Amino acid sequence: MAEKKIVKAGIVGSGFAAKFHFDAIQRVYGCKVEISGIFSRTPKNAKSFAEERGLTPFSELSNLIDASDIVHLCTPPVTHEQIAIEVLRRDKDVIIEKPFTGYFGDGSADFSGDDFSKEAGLEKARESIRRMLDAEKSSNGSIMYAENWIYAPAIQKEREVIEKTAAQILWIQAQQSHSGSHSLDYGKWRLSGGGSLMGKGCHPLAGALYLKAVEGRVRFGKPIMPKSVSCRTHAITRLENYKNDKNLRHSYTDVEDYAFTHIVFEDGTVADVVASELLQGGVKNYLEVHASNHRTVCNLTPNNAMQTYNPVDEIFKDIYVVEKTGTKQGWSNISPDEAWFNGYQHEMEAFYRSSAFNEPIESNSELAAAVTATIYAAYLSAEKNGVEVNIPYF
């Protein structure tokens, strides 16, 4: 048997995203992945992360990049542009965790996401996207957009249905909601670039844009792009009359915790995307396709592959049930392999095969740019109380 090609990987970041990237790497089978090490701007966290996994902590980012063929960018989105460009300048591939990039304020101490010009934010986000795309064009490396929804088995099966039946997608409904982010940086616009629309909405929005692009390639030889967007956002847990029963995260300073976004594509068809921090009982990840010749519901989480009844919470104290569940007592849609259903291992396999063998990927910089541009056009619409806003192209 021939030896598998070796690909050296570096991880930047030491939080929640870095952990599930590390776990997904362990399931890559098309090549042999050697993790060169980890870098974090918080050395203590890097040391702890490395010791738990037998990795080498790097004190300099540049040294980690030089020691790697591919770099996992698992840091807050405010850092993505700078680090990604540095990786690409060294002709290395970079896996960028979502959200891709955005606008994170003017650097002033009193910046607030509540009252800056969203039109200026859209323009600044476009400039950031353009710089990253230009860096990729000038590099031998590639941007790989770590949107796991694209590689979730349910989404990929729907891709097959669309391709083999030449379906026209008429309307997409999609949602990601849960009780609040793991990240302590989330909730501050200057670090996260937005709230629910940015941090949650990027997932179902990417799924919707991807499937319309698939349809376009099949029927017309080119993607069907989003044309315009209307959006409303709300900060429910920051209302003065909010009743805080401590079941939802509520530490947001200047971002929304609910967003409803309506997208019109260039062929006149539509998608509706909901994102919120107001949902208890786990994560709700779903996408529903209403097409000319079929209807599909993709339940990423929860799904009923396994359902378990537990009479006493304590019995399951050592058992992982599902992300963001508030209690393990009672009936649970327990996930036998949450990462598999969410597409994490499939995503990493595709990225490493691309790095090793130059195979094309489904979740690339073009999709990342379209998602980000749509999000910031949606913020401009929300500032105007839902007025339709055209989405810029790249």
> What average pLDDT does range 181-207 have in this prediction?
92
Instruction: Return the HEC string of the chain.
Output: CCCCCEEEEEEECCCHHHHHHHHHHCCCCCCEEEEEEEECCCHHHHHHHHHHHCCCEECCHHHHHHCCCEEEECCCHHHHHHHHHHHHHCCCEEEEECCCCCCCCCCCCCCCCCCCCHHHHHHHHHHHHHHHHHHHHCCCCCEEEECHHHHCHHHHHHHHHHHHHCCCEEEEEEEEECCCCCCCCCCCHHHHCCCHHHHCCHHHHHHHHHHHHHHHHHHHCCCCCEEEEEEEEECHHHCCCCCCCCCCCCCCCCCCCEEEEEEEECCCCEEEEEEECCCCCCCEEEEEEEECCCEEEEEEECCCCCCEEECCHHHHCCCCCCCCCCCCCEEECCCCCHHHHHCHHHHHHHHHHHHHHCCCCCCEHHHHHHHHHHHHHHHHHHHCCCCCEECCCC
* Confidence band of 2 (pLDDT split at 50, 70, 90): low
Cα separation of 291 and 337, whole Å?
A: 29
Q: What is the chain's Cα-based Rg? A: 21
CA atoms of 254 and 111, how far apart (whole Å): 9
Q: Looking at residues 262-275, what average pLDDT do you find?
A: 98
Q: Tell which phi-psi region holds residue 193, choosing left (phi > 0), alpha (psi between -120 and 50) or beta.
A: left
3 — pLDDT class (breaks 50, 70, 90):
confident
Across 273-288, average pLDDT:
96
pLDDT tens digits, residue range 45-54?
999 999 999 9
Q: Provide mean pLDDT across the span 96-125.
A: 96
Order of strands across the sheet that contains 6-12: 57-58, 32-39, 6-12, 70-73, 93-97, 143-146
Share of the chain above pLDDT 90, in %: 94
Tens-place pLDDT, residues 131-154: 999 999 999 999 999 999 999 999
Q: What is the structure's pLDDT at 59?
A: 96
Q: Which CATH architecture has domain 164-337+365-390?
A: 2-Layer Sandwich (3.30)
Written out in words, the top-level CATH class of the domain with range 6-146 is alpha beta
Q: Are 104 and 112 in contact (CB under 8 A)?
A: no
pLDDT of residue 1: 57
Q: Give the N- to C-terminal CA distance of the chain in Å, as an integer.
A: 45
* pLDDT(204) > 90: yes
Question: For 51-80, how does the pLDDT look when each residue is reduced to its tens digit (9 = 90+)?
Answer: 999 999 999 999 999 999 999 999 999 999
216-265 pLDDT per residue, tens? 999 999 999 999 999 999 999 999 999 999 999 999 999 999 999 999 99
pLDDT of 181 reads 83
Task: Output the pLDDT for position 351.
Answer: 98
pLDDT at 375: 98
For the residues 194-219, what does the mean pLDDT come to?
98
Report whether pLDDT(184) > 80: no
Mean pLDDT of the chain: 96
pTM of the model: 0.96
Q: What is the pLDDT of residue 295?
A: 98
pLDDT(313) > 80: yes
Span 349-378, average pLDDT: 98
Res. 215: pLDDT tops 70:
yes
Confidence of residue 288 (pLDDT cuts 50, 70, 90): very high
pLDDT at 394 over 80: no
Q: In b/e form, how buried is each residue of 141-156, taking b as 16+ CB within 10 angstroms?
A: bbbbbbbbbbbbebbe
pLDDT at 76: 92
> What was the pLDDT predicted at 161?
98
User: Where does CATH 3.30.360.10 sit in the chain?
Assistant: 164-337+365-390
Token pair of 296 as six digits: 């599909």
Rounded distance between C-alpha atoms, residue 158 and residue 147, angstroms: 16
pLDDT over 70 percentage in the chain: 99
pLDDT at site 81? 98
